Amino acid sequence: MIDAVIVGAGFSGLYMLHRLRQLGISARVFEAGDDLGGTWYWNRYPGARCDVESMQYSYSFCDDLQQEWHWSERYASQPEILRYLNHVADRFDLRKDIRFKTRVTAAIFDETLSCWEVHLDRGDRVLARFCIMATGSLSIPKIPDIKGLDSFKGDVYHTGQWPHEAVHFNDRRVAVIGTGSSGIQTIPVIAQQAAHVYVFQRTPNFSIPAYNVPLDVDYEQSWKSNYAERRRHAQESSRIAIAAEGTIRNISALEATPEERLQEYEKRWKIGGLVFLYAFNDLAINNEANKTAADFVGSKIRATVSDAAIAEPLVPRDHPIGTKRLCVDSHYYETYNRDNVTLISLRNENIQEITPTGIQTKNKTYDVDIIVFATGFDAMTGAVLKIDIRGRAGRTLREKWTEGPRTYLGLMTAAFPNLFIITGPGSPSVLTNMVVSIEQHVEWIAECLHHLRTHHLDSIEATVEAEDAWVEHVNDAANATLYPMANSWYVGANIPGKPRVFLPYIGGFALYRKKCEEVVSRGYEGFRLAKCS
């Protein structure tokens, strides 16, 4: 029996393996893909890049690593992030303990031995004391069930499952369905190549310019000279695990004068990126305050898109800004000024079916050669629930989570001992710079396994009481904000039949981190630690 099975070889799985090895804990990683990288292995669509600055969207655990790596752009592209993860794997010699092309299909807890029997799609099984899900929050792509899709004679792609060979758009008519972060990143790039792009938009999203540029040498150096302090700031003092001067201003948008507000929004619009949302302290909790920011972005859309008839349907009206993941783009709105781009608002003409030659809406048939689905993921619970996980008394996780996920700290779930989820539901995860959240979870889990070993213990399990209290706290935190108002993937609204539950913890990363540390210092409060009988 090995100590730990780790499922997934993205940012989470790679660091988990490295950390356990450092502690002398044996581990094997199983990865469904042909190679490592997770998100950055699968999402190869044109225009894919991070929306947290590269200097921060990277591991902090090894100073030599962060000093030696050079990012070429403010926001690194998918190929560069993938190169970085490969560098990390080589540098720490990780590949030898990763089995690729291997999907974990089931994990069954053996109560007598206090260990997990992990089933692989190749037919074999592995016994491990601990099972660690590093399966990703956004790793199960969702293609909507549209009548006639199978009949389409052209090429079909999903952004989250992009082929490894180059996709040629030249002289081709392309439909892009979906205008979330992926659609907004890929549409401008495809439009530069394709004969025509038809964008099928169900809900317009708010997007802020990235102003992506080659990384300035002085800027890079200022980060490298101050990494320790800035990383500490991101880890210990930030709600979103991002270090940025004056990220969140402690001023209400409603107390500021209209001129002050405009000045602040203009300033942040010029900086670009996610910091826009933190201009005032009440944008996430007060609809009136939020509307001042939403109106500002609406005015920018109208100023950018020259045809008012195209600009208007691009202006979001049905959700407060930020309550769906804010998008960060490169020339997205400008793209609608091109002659070869047509916006189809599905509010006016919904898709009725896909025909062998294109997409038919209520009003018209659009003949296309390629359909790109930028339709998102079964987020946060999809990958874990795809595995048949059985805990105490053979109870399945799917059964336990029928009405929504229940976890303690987003790390463990009661009645499933020794099963950890990295950035699981109920943790800040997708509301933060994910690499920081991943490092925090990996380090917490590694320390926990080390603690169990040094105290000659075999198992750890969340108590039902601690879990209930945490779930209530996660819900209360969400309900104190505007976030639950939006039909977003944060509440599972993009997946038909998924229970409407706010999935991540919105109480803030720094606070959450402190809570996790307190739990440990109080002897793993809320967990039951035991020796195998």
Residues that bind ligand FAD (CB under 6 A): 7-13, 30-33, 38-39, 41, 43, 48, 50-52, 57, 103-104, 134-139, 160, 182, 383, 387, 422-423, 433-434, 438
Told to check if 435 binds ligand NAP by CB under 6 A, we report no
Name the binder of 418 from ligand FAD, ligand NAP, none, CB < 5-8 A by kind. Answer: none
CB of 493 to ligand NAP, least distance (A): 7
- By three-state DSSP, how is residue 411 classified? coil
CB of 412 to ligand FAD, least distance (A): 16
Name the binder of 471 from ligand FAD, ligand NAP, none, CB < 5-8 A by kind. Answer: none
Told to check if 54 binds ligand NAP by CB under 6 A, we report no
CB of 355 to ligand FAD, least distance (A): 29
For 250-276, letters b (16+ CB in 10 Å) and e give eeebeebeeeebeebbeebbeebbbbb
CA 346 to chain centre: 26
Closest residue by Cα to residue 32 from 123, 108, 99, 119:
99
Cα three-residue angle 323-325-329, rounded to 5 degrees: 130
Name the binder of 179 from ligand NAP, ligand FAD, none, CB < 5-8 A by kind. Answer: ligand NAP
Closer CB to ligand NAP, 179 or 459, in the complex = 179
Instruction: Provide long-range contacts, Cβ within 8 A and 24+ apart, for 294-299.
Output: 294/206, 294/320, 294/321, 296/261, 296/262, 296/265, 296/269, 297/206, 297/207, 297/208, 297/321
Element (H, E) at 445: helix 434-454
Question: Measured between alpha carbons, how far is 333 from 311 in angstroms, rounded to an integer?
Answer: 8
Told to check if 47 binds ligand NAP by CB under 6 A, we report no
- Residue found by looking up tokens 């987003």 in the block: 410
Closest residue to ligand NAP, judged by C-beta, is 180
Q: Do 453 and 25 contact (CB within 8 A), yes or no?
A: yes
Token pair, residue 444, equals 């917490």
Provide the residue type at 2 as one letter: I
Told to check if 501 binds ligand NAP by CB under 6 A, we report no
Told to check if 186 binds ligand NAP by CB under 6 A, we report no
Closer CB to ligand FAD, 6 or 293, in the complex = 6
Name the binder of 180 from ligand FAD, ligand NAP, none, CB < 5-8 A by kind. Answer: ligand NAP
Name the binder of 423 from ligand FAD, ligand NAP, none, CB < 5-8 A by kind. Answer: ligand FAD
Told to check if 376 binds ligand NAP by CB under 6 A, we report yes
List Cβ neighbours of 522 (8 Å cut-off, separation of 6 or more).
none
- Residue found by looking up tokens 């800035």 in the block: 230
CB of 412 to ligand NAP, least distance (A): 24
CB of 37 to ligand FAD, least distance (A): 7
- Contact footprint for ligand NAP (CB under 6 A): 50-51, 138, 144, 159, 177-183, 185, 200, 202-203, 325, 328, 346, 374-377, 430, 489, 494
